[in-house]
Each structure stands twice: as C-alpha cells, then as structure tokens.
Structure 1
Amino acid sequence: MTPRGDWSAWPAPAKLNLFLRIVGRRPDGYHRLQTVFQLLDWGDIVRLRVREDGQVRREATEGYAVPEVEDLVVRAAKLLKSEAKTTLGVDIVVEKKIPLGGGFGGGSSDAATVLVALDHLWGTGLGEARLAVLGLALGADVPVFVRGRSAWAEGVGELLTPLDLGPASYLLVDTGVSVPTAELFQAPDLTRDAPAATISDFASGPSLGNAFEPVLRRRFQAVSMALDTLARFGAAALTGTGGGCFVRFDARADAEAALASLPAGMRAWVAGGVDVSPLHRALSSS
C-alpha cells in the first residue's frame, strides 16, 4: 500500500458505447437503456495523496476547468468519506486526456477511480458492490467503471453483465460537440421505444445503432462529417450522448493507417479495447 502522504497514480479509462438504444421509460421518468460498454486502454490519470486532517481538495491543472464544487471526483471522495465515516482526507489531481462531453465517460471514470482507489488507500473496505451503489448516485455510467469489466448494460446503465469482447482497436474522433445529456433526452425526435435487444442480437454482428446519432447528425454538421469520414473504414458509430465517434478494427496497424489518412485538423487517436479495466489491474498489483 502507498504510504500516507505520498502521491499515487491511478488509471481512469475511457469507454465506448458499442450501441445505445432506448427501450422505454420507468415510472420515475428515467429512460430504460440497453448498451454495451467497451472499456479502453487509454484515459485519464487520477493522482491521490491521503491527508490526515480530513479535508478533500482538488488541485487545479491546466486545461481542466470544471469548478471544484461541481467536480465528480470531489463529490465521489466526499460521498465515500461520509459513507465509510473515515476521518481521513485526500488531495486530488486529475490529468485529463479524455475530452469533456464527448461521450467517452471521462467524468464518470474519474469518479469511479476515486471511489475504488480511495477505498483501498483509506482502508475503508466497502468493496465493489457497495462502491457501485455509491457510484450510481453520482451518475449512470459510474458503476461500470467501478466494476471494471466491459459489459452489457440495461436499466439506466447500472444492470451489468460482464462480456468478453476480445481484442480490438478503435479509431476515435472528438468532434468538439458537447450537449447536456438532459437536453438530448428531451429532444422531440429521439426514438424512445426501440424494441428490446438481446446479447445474442449484439453478438450476431449487425449494428444496433445509437439512438442519439440521428439527433446529433441533424443538429451538428461536425458530427455528421466525422461519421461520414469514418464510414470509409467500417461501421462508424457515435459513443454515448456526446459528439465522440469511432470505428472498430481487428488490427491496430489498420487503425493507425486509417488515422494517418484522416483529413488534417481532425482530433483523432487510436485506443485498444480491453475486457478488464486498467484501474483494476493497477489495484491488483498495488
């Protein structure tokens, strides 16, 4: 275990939604979703330093403009502190690589990393199941990062069935488009009654689509252009409810070749899909 007072670094991996459909609404008004979360070998880094005085502080970093009072990493640390009734505190630094609002899960993953890593560093021992419940209070995508497995998801995204998706490489594009999720869920042209799919439907190969893709295509030319560009290489798709787009490759060399052929000015990179989160690999070796 890292000695108290020393900094430790923890991965906060990005994710992709390999499809995303809305199959109805719950009585409380929340949308019922189906998706597959693919975890990636690329993402943010969260640095933590245990404090003895009980304070939770996030140190500012260049290019990370989220107000501290709104930051999910601060909320996650305070939530865990309250739940575990610990007198310890923490300093937090987030090294951002995942673009904000792109649908790659950056904020949710950062929060999950704080929950999982601090449960270890503080010695609070809540464990994965309780941390996933806490994570759901922070956001629908947080539990999958807490659980640390690529997964089939239902409900609001919290009912998870781990999947072995196998090796793959993804060419990712950040269009710079970021729309509040709540606003998109209220879009009048959003399909909310898609027929329920099964894991077998997903495994059979044809794309199940993303309910938000046509909505964003109609509203943002940058998203439409990025998807059309990526479609030259395969089945281009939108991830989550942001403006991030991707296409899958079996071989990383093919993904890198496609990256090199993109028009100048596109913010793009290649990442590998993983079945087990880099966070959990780091935790098991600490």
Structure 2
Amino acid sequence: MASTLGLLSPAKLNLFLHVTGRREDGYHTLQTVFQLLNWGDSMHFTPDRSGQLRLDMPGVALPAEDNLILRAARLLQRDDLGASIACDKRIPMGGGLGGGSSNAATTLLALNHLWQLGLEQAELQALGAQLGADVPVFVAGHSAWAEGVGEQLTRITLPEAWYLVIKPACSVPTGEIFSSQELTRDTPPITMAAFFQGVHRNDCEPVVVARYPEVGDALQWLQGFAEARLTGTGACIFAAFASQHEAVAVQEQVPARWTSFTARGVDVSPVLTALA
C-alpha cells in the first residue's frame, strides 16, 4: 500500500448567501457562491490492512459518531482496509468556513485514492451529501455557484483576490441561525450575472449580528477598509483585496481580541491539485 499522503484541506468562503425558500422537509433552498481558499487544515493519511480507523486530531474533542472524518472513512471502508489519519486543525469550528465538511471531503478523496477504490467523483459527492450539505462542493473541488440546498453546483471562475478573514471571539451554530424566526426566507433568486455586478448580500448577517454583537463589531471595524461580509452563518467575516500586500497591511491592524488570517482565493482545491 502507498505510504503517507499529506493534503491541505481547504477552507471556503460564501461570497453571498440568499435564502430563497424553505422546503416541507425543513431544509432551506438557497443561492450562494463558494470560494475555495489556499488555506486550511493539514491532514495526513496512512493506509493499512488492519481493518481499524485511527484519528489523531489534537485539541478537538468530538464523539466518534459526530466526527465527520471518521464517518466519511466508514462510508468507504470495506474488508480489512484501515488507516491512520491525522488532522492539524486551523479552520475554527463555528466560523462558517466549512472546516468539518472540507475534512470529510478530503477524507473521501484521499482514501478513495489510497485504497484504490476507483469511485467516480459523482459517487463520492453522493456519499458526501449524506454527511452534510457543503461536503459535495469540497469533493468537486472547484469554486462554484450553488442552488437548491447547496447540492446543485455550477463550476465558475472567480476574479483573483486575496482575503482577510477575521474570527470574532464567538462560535455561531448553523442550526440556530437557520431555525430563527427572524431569518429572511423569501429572497427572490438572482442570476449569475447579477452576482458579478454586485447585487447580493448574506441573509443570515442581520440575524447573526443581532444575536452575536461581537460579529457586528468586527464587521463595522473591517468596513473601514473594504466591503466586509459574513461567510455562511458566521462567525467569521471577510473582505477581498487586490493583493496579498493590501490584505496583510490591514491584518496587521486587526484588534488583538480577534484572530485573523489572509488567504488567496483559488478556483481549484489544493486536494485535487495534489491528487492529480
């Protein structure tokens, strides 16, 4: 079997998020654009024939049944296939950056490759959808326009940009925001052309700011330098800059009570690049 495979499990940004309706099963229909980043968690996979799955993820205490990495691995595991998996977490939990979904997708792609299962991308995406609505976009590995509940993906090319991402000192549970009474759920669908013309917003932002004032403080601060937006249901906020130099120059001024990072937007996931 192959030796250890190291991969960067990327974070994502939602460049906008419109909630267009709510289905009878409780899921929300939406429109969004997923921007992948060249920044994320470091993951290592070592396959074996032990029939066992072992995960080392320092600083994260999650029950095995709730851990998306182990759940993803079990969806692929058969016979005596086993693996040791290590994940060095940098993507904050409850930040709206898709860390858990990205880790699950990276696990599906890595173990399909290492265990030589030969599953096609569409099959892996279908498995990923069982784990979470954002997993298929990370399996596809391309920046995308998304509709439906996030599963209808259209690959797009986004303008080159560097992003400053700020994490206020709070975590926002996605379920809390999508179940809130005050969430707008009837935003009319827009066209892709309208998005590129700047006609968009994040419908979750007013709800999050009302419940988590720290997010509002960070948005207001970053707004002093560029157009600041919430990603997903937060808590992270971001702004786009034309160059790494500009993004870093603003990052150096971020108040010490918040954590931050800069990253370049990429249209192709570093996982796909590495596996190619």
TM-score calculated relative to the size of structure 1: 0.93
Separation in structure 1 between the aligned mates of residue 169 and residue 104 of structure 2, nearest angstrom: 22
SS in 1 for 2:158: coil
2:217 to 214, 225, 229: 225
- Are 2:28 and 1:31 equivalent residues in the alignment? yes
Q: What secondary structure is seen at the aligned counterpart in 1 of 2:69?
A: helix
Please give the per-residue CA displacement for 1:45-74, whole angstroms capped at 9, x wherever unaligned: 11111120211121242x222233310000
Q: Which amino acid aligns with 2:269?
A: S
Aligned to 1:263: 255
Residue 239 (structure 2) pairs with residue 244 (structure 1): no
In structure 2, distance between residues paired with 1:73 and 1:213: 29
- Is the Cα–Cα contact under 8 Å of residues 56 and 90 in structure 1 kept in the other structure? yes
How far apart, in 2, do the equivalents of 1:224 and 1:50 lie?
Answer: 45
Within-5 A mapping of 1:1-286: 3-4=1-2, 6-61=3-58, 63-81=59-77, 85-206=78-199, 208-284=200-276
Match of 2:237, as an amino acid?
A: C
- Aligned amino acid, residue 98 of structure 1: I
Q: Distance in 2 between matches of 1:144 and 1:155?
A: 13
- The CA distance in 1 between the partners of 2:209 and 2:70, in whole Å, is 34
What is the percentage of aligned positions where both structures have the same residue?
50
Looking at structure 2, the residues matched to 159 and 65 of structure 1 have their Cα atoms a distance apart, in angstroms, of: 33
**Tell me, which stretches of 5 or more residues in structure 2 are unaligned?**
none
Measured after TM superposition, the shift of residue 86 of structure 1 is: 4.7
Q: What amino acid maps onto 1:143 in structure 2?
A: P
Q: CA RMSD for the aligned pairs?
A: 1.2
CA deviations on 1:102-160 (whole Å, 9 max, x unpaired) are 00010000000000011000000112110001001100000010000000001111110
Q: TM-score, normalised by structure 2?
A: 0.97
Q: C-alpha separation between the residues in 2 aligned to 1:176 and 1:69? A: 27
**Separation of aligned partners in 2, 1:203 and 1:160:** 17
- CA shift, 1:218, in A, is 0.6
Work out the CA distance in 1 between the residues paired with 2:86 and 2:37: 21
Question: How many residues get paired?
Answer: 276
| 8 Å CA contact 1:177, 1:242 repeated in 2 | no
2:54–2:84 Cα contact (<8 Å) kept: yes
Task: Provide the C-alpha distance between the structure 2 equivalents of 1:115 and 1:216, rounded to a whole number of angstroms.
Answer: 32
DSSP 3-state at the match of 1:138: coil
